[in-house]
Amino acid sequence: MWSSWGRPYNIETPLKSFDLTRPITSQFLAIGNRRSYGDSCLITHGQGYDMLHHNHFLEFNPQTGLLKAQAGILFSEILTLCVPKGWFLPVTPGTKWVTLGGAIANDIHGKNHHQVGTIGNFIPRFGLWRPDTGEITCSPTQETDLFRATIGGLGLTGIITWAEIQLIPIQSAHLNVEWLQFSGIDAFLELTKDSQNYPYTVAWLDCSHKTKGNATARGVFIRGTHAVETQNIASLRLIPHTEKSKTIPLDMPSQLLNPLTVSLFNTLYYHKQITAKKQLLQHYDPFFYPLDHLNNWNKLYGKNGFYQYQCVIPFKDGKKHLQEMLNLIANSGFASSLSVLKTFGSIPSPGLLSFPQEGITLCLDFANRGDKTHTLFIQLDAIVLAAKGRLYPAKDATMSPETFKTCYPNWKEFSRYKHPQITSDFWERVTQ
Amino acid sequence: MKKHITIIGATSAIATSVAKRYIQENPHHHLTLISRSLPKLETLKADLSIRGGLHIDIDTQLTPKEPIDVLLIATGTIDDQDVQDCIDVNFTHIAVQLQKLIPFFEKQQHGSIAVIGSVAGDRGRQSNYVYGSAKAGLERYLEGLRHHFAPHKVHVLCIKPGFVDTPMTASFKKGLLWATPDTIAKGILKAIQKKKSTVYLPGFWKGIMFIIKNIPEAIFHKTKL
Ligand SMILES: Cc1cc2nc3c(=O)[nH]c(=O)nc-3n(C[C@H](O)[C@H](O)[C@H](O)COP(=O)(O)OP(=O)(O)OC[C@H]3O[C@@H](n4cnc5c(N)ncnc54)[C@H](O)[C@@H]3O)c2cc1C
Ligand SMILES: NC(=O)c1ccc[n+]([C@@H]2O[C@H](COP(=O)([O-])OP(=O)(O)OC[C@H]3O[C@@H](n4cnc5c(N)ncnc54)[C@H](OP(=O)(O)O)[C@@H]3O)[C@@H](O)[C@H]2O)c1
């Protein structure tokens, strides 16, 4: 019995460990570290192949920072190897426990999207295993169609066996970080504009707070840059993270995450800084991965699991649509505990089905309250579609086939490269 | 101190973690990695070299030439559809191979022989008694070998892991009792260094198995263990 990060439901067919020396005969899907929230990494009608033990480094050039590894390698392992040698992940999500293959299959984005785009831009080549062709090499000059379809291709084009990733140089494992309080979408957009030169920007949002029925959109804007050599000695050290983290022993009662606790959590985060602006030197681990401190925080939501909702809407009329969504959320009483706001830049995503496009992205958690939550999502989806935005498949468990096809008009072209022997619950849901 | 570590079944997830830990301890350790699949060994060698390993040999057969400080045997399978194969891989092949190595270790008069058994060998259970009995046989074999080597200063260790998250157990539902291969590897290095005879890994399995071994049969037969 296994599931994804949001635990929408369980899969009964046991996973098998991926091993090229054993034949694959049924319908199948490559499964990474299951940090996707919805059903894109779930397969009910077929066999899931666990990639986690396909995790060896293959080549590393410490002069150029080009790393080649098997696709099941975790980002945490890449960091442990590369940080001491002065290299860092070019793009990283909010957890270091994702696999390289999973990251490519969702063409993930990080806090630096406005400057560098998605991870697909840093993958010069990868190996793709398909039942009929065996392993083939894909790059911008070889098997170009499959290259474009596999980046952000949700595992549906084949199994990524290995990949090259171009790392970026760092002089320190620390970052110079600034926290700035803001209130209102205008203030957020203003800060975003002022921070274009910072490689990393993100904002935490308190979605429960409202004034006269309108969401206040107050929060903390965070921006950071990698520390450099000229700074103090402590910042200089290239020490990677430790693998220590706390584990929650059992499922927590889901009532624990009622709107009150959520609001409390957000208020605490908001007031943690005594002043309106705070500067600090932070190791990359708490800066990029604050949630990794609690190994299985998804269990905080109890047995019913939870949803994450992430959309991006274009800048044009973005403020209006965002305010509409925030009002809806604040008034629903289902306020989300972790809400993240960020802007995506104009660098095009390389994948046919990549999620990021220029605009504002909003990302929130919702405890699973059944129909009530679904109704809220339907309302939110409508706003996203009206805004000409889209939803992130890595997070999604509910969008309708119509919504998917409208968000991703390339889906038809993509279907040509999807392998007939590969399927996922997500794909079956959104193309039915 | 620079050691020569030989690992049979080196591609196993637990064995790979042991190799990584030895390289972390000292990149100059000499590692000889043995397994049936040369391509897998080549990948493993690349990985360990990138992690800093400086002296790594690979082969499909063990032909000991220089002194061995640590010999780890990690081959094993829980697949008991082919009963003969299950007993062969988990017991017969290992015993035959070790018998052949006796003169070599008698001569060198030092070293540790560490073999991975299992808690499954502690009591026969309907769910996996073919595997369990092979592991039980292995433990008795190692006990005898330890006795044999007592005058020769050769150390023999039987490692008994509980549930470990590896390819072998990919299909199992994971829970609180599960350990990572690296946790087991850490315990293996420590048990070798301390020259233990048997070790449960993680240690809490000693208590669990004590209880399981002592449940009266009448009650035991009512369980689905
Ligand atoms: C706390 C947290 C923070 C996050 N922050 C971000 C963020 O900031 N930005 C962002 O973009 N995402 C973010 N995510 C989502 C996460 O980065 C993606 O879901 C990622 O793809 C998960 O990788 P995984 O290895 O767990 O893959 P899985 O979730 O197991 O699988 C994801 C997809 O990849 C496919 N796949 C896996 N391995 C392979 C392979 N070898 N070959 C082919 N296909 C494969 C699967 O079939 C599936 O479609 C976050 C998730 C969490 C839990
Ligand atoms: N995982 C657990 O929960 C657990 C618990 C207790 C004990 N153990 C024991 O720990 C040891 C290591 O296992 P693991 O968990 O690390 O699993 P693993 O990664 O699947 O390793 C199994 C190893 O055995 C080899 N092997 C399997 N069948 C073989 C055969 N027929 N001939 C030759 N070699 C064969 C494999 O070689 P290839 O790579 O070539 O397939 C591999 O090296 C085993 O002895 C196992 O019984 C494991």
Best to test chain A binding among B43, B166, B186 (most A CBs inside 10 Å): B43
Which of A10-19, A280-289, A335-344, A364-373 bottoms out in mean pLDDT, i.e. has the lowest? A335-344
CATH class of A174-398: alpha beta
pLDDT beyond 70 at A257: no
Query: Could you say which ligand is closest to the alpha carbon of residue B168?
Result: 2
Mean pLDDT of the A23-34 span: 94
B121 lines ligand 2 (CB under 6 A): no
In contact, A312 and A361? CB cutoff 8 Å: yes
pLDDT tens string A360-371: 999 998 988 889
Res A242 pLDDT > 70: yes
Residues 322-351 of A with CB under 8 A from B: none
Instruction: Using pLDDT thresholds of 50, 70 and 90, give the confidence band for residue A75.
Output: very high
Q: Considering only the top CATH level, what class is A28-170+409-430?
A: alpha beta
By Cβ distance, the residue of A16, A57, A59 closest to B170 is: A16
Give the total residue count for chain B: 225
- Mutation site, A16, A20, A47, A53, interface B, largest B CB count within 10 A: A53
* Ligand nearest to the CA of residue B41, numbered in listed order: 2
Chain position carrying tokens 């299950």? B86
Q: Residue A221 C-alpha to ligand 2 middle, in angstroms?
A: 49
B13 touches chain A (CB under 8 A): yes
Cβ-contact A249, B176 below 8 angstroms? yes
Q: Is B37 at the interface with chain A, CB within 8 A?
A: yes
How far apart (Å, rounded) are the C-alpha atoms in residues A246 and A242?
12
Instruction: Please give the pLDDT value at position A274.
Output: 46
Contact B51 A50 (CB under 8 A): no
Q: How far is B167 from chain A (nearest CA, A)?
A: 5
Ligand 1 center from residue A35 Cα (angstroms): 5
A206 falls in which pLDDT band (50, 70, 90)?
A: confident
pLDDT at A337: 62
Q: Looking at CA atoms only, how far is residue B49 from chain A in angstroms?
A: 9
* Ligand 2 nearest atom to the CA of residue B10, by list position: 43
From the CA of B207, how far away is ligand 2's center (Å)? 25
According to DSSP, the residues that pair with A235 across neighbouring strands are none
**Quick check: A249 contacting B, CB < 8 Å?**
yes
CATH class of B4-220: alpha beta
Task: Give me the mean pLDDT over the A301-310 stretch.
Answer: 88
For ligand 1, atom 17: residue with the closest CA:
A93
CB contact under 8 A, A15 and B50: no
Question: How far apart are the C-alpha atoms of A31 and A48, rounded to whole Å?
Answer: 6
Q: Does A412 touch chain B (CB under 8 A)?
A: no
The response to whether residue B163 sits with its C-beta less than 6 Å from ligand 2 reads yes
Q: Which residue from A minimizes the CA distance to B48?
A: A57
Full-model pTM: 0.94
Read off the pLDDT of residues A132-151 as tens digits, 9 standing for 90 and up. Answer: 999 999 999 999 999 999 99
SS3 B32: strand
Res. A39 pLDDT band, cuts 50 70 90: very high
Which atom of ligand 1 lies nearest, measured to the CA of A18?
41
- Quick check: CB of B17 below 6 Å from ligand 2? no
Residue indicated by tokens 């975790």: A74
Q: Is the Cβ of A53 closer than 8 Å to some Cβ of chain B?
A: yes
| Contact map slice: B 171-200 vs A, CB within 8 A | 171-173, 176
pLDDT tens digits for range B21-57: 999 999 999 999 999 999 999 999 999 999 999 999 9
Instruction: Report how far ligand 1's centroid is from the alpha carbon of B219 (Å).
Output: 46
Is the CB of B173 less than 8 angstroms away from the CB of A2? yes
What residues in A contact B51, CB-CB < 8 Å? Answer: 57, 81
3-state secondary structure chain A: CECCCCCCCCECCCCEECCCCCCCCCCEEEECCCCCCCCCCCCCCCEEEECCCCCCEEEEECCCCEEEEECCCEHHHHHHHHHHHCEECCCCCCCCCCEHHHHHHCCCCCCCHHHHCCHHHHCCCEEEEECCCEEEEECCCCCHHHHHHHCCCCCCCCEEEEEEEECEECCCCEEEEEEEEEECHHHHHHHHHHCCCCCEEEEEEECCCEECCEECCEEEEEEEEECCCCCCHHHHCCCCCCCCCECCCCCCCHHHHCHHHHHHHHHHHHHCCCCCEEEEEEEHHHHHCHHHHECCHHHHHCCCCEEEEEEEECCCCHHHHHHHHHHHHHHHCCCCCCEEEEEECCCCCCCCCCCCCCEEEEEEEEECCCHHHHHHHHHHHHHHHHCCCEECCCCCCCCCHHHHHHHCCCHHHHHCCCCCCECCHHHHHHCC
Question: Ligand 1 centroid vs A95 CA: distance in angstroms?
Answer: 10
Predicted pLDDT at B225? 85
Of A17, A56, A249, the CB nearest to B44: A56
Kindly identify which residue of chain B lies nearest to residue A1, measuring between CA atoms: B173
CA distance A32 to chain B (A): 13
- The nearest CA of chain B is from the CA of A407 a distance in Å of 35
A235 pLDDT exceeds 60?
A: no
Inter-chain CB proximity B46 and A58 less than 8 Å = yes
The single residue listed with the structure tokens 């084009």 is: A157
Q: Of the residues B33, B58, B77, B188, which should be mutated to test ligand 2's pocket, given the most ligand atoms within 8 Å of the CB?
A: B77
Share of chain A above pLDDT 90, in %: 73
Q: Is the pLDDT of residue A383 over 90?
A: yes
Q: Which of residues 65-124 of A touch B (CB under 8 A)?
A: 70, 81
Domain ranges of chain A: 28-170+409-430, 174-398
Q: Would the CATH topology of A28-170+409-430 be identical to that of A174-398? A: no
Q: Name every chain A residue with its beta carbon within 8 A of the beta carbon of B171.
A: 14-16
Beta-carbon pairs below 8 A across chains A and B: 41
Distance from the Cα of A162 to chain B's closest Cα (Å) equals 12
Please identify every stretch of chain B with a pLDDT value under 70, giving residue numbers as ranges: none
Does the pLDDT of residue A267 top 70, yes or no?
no
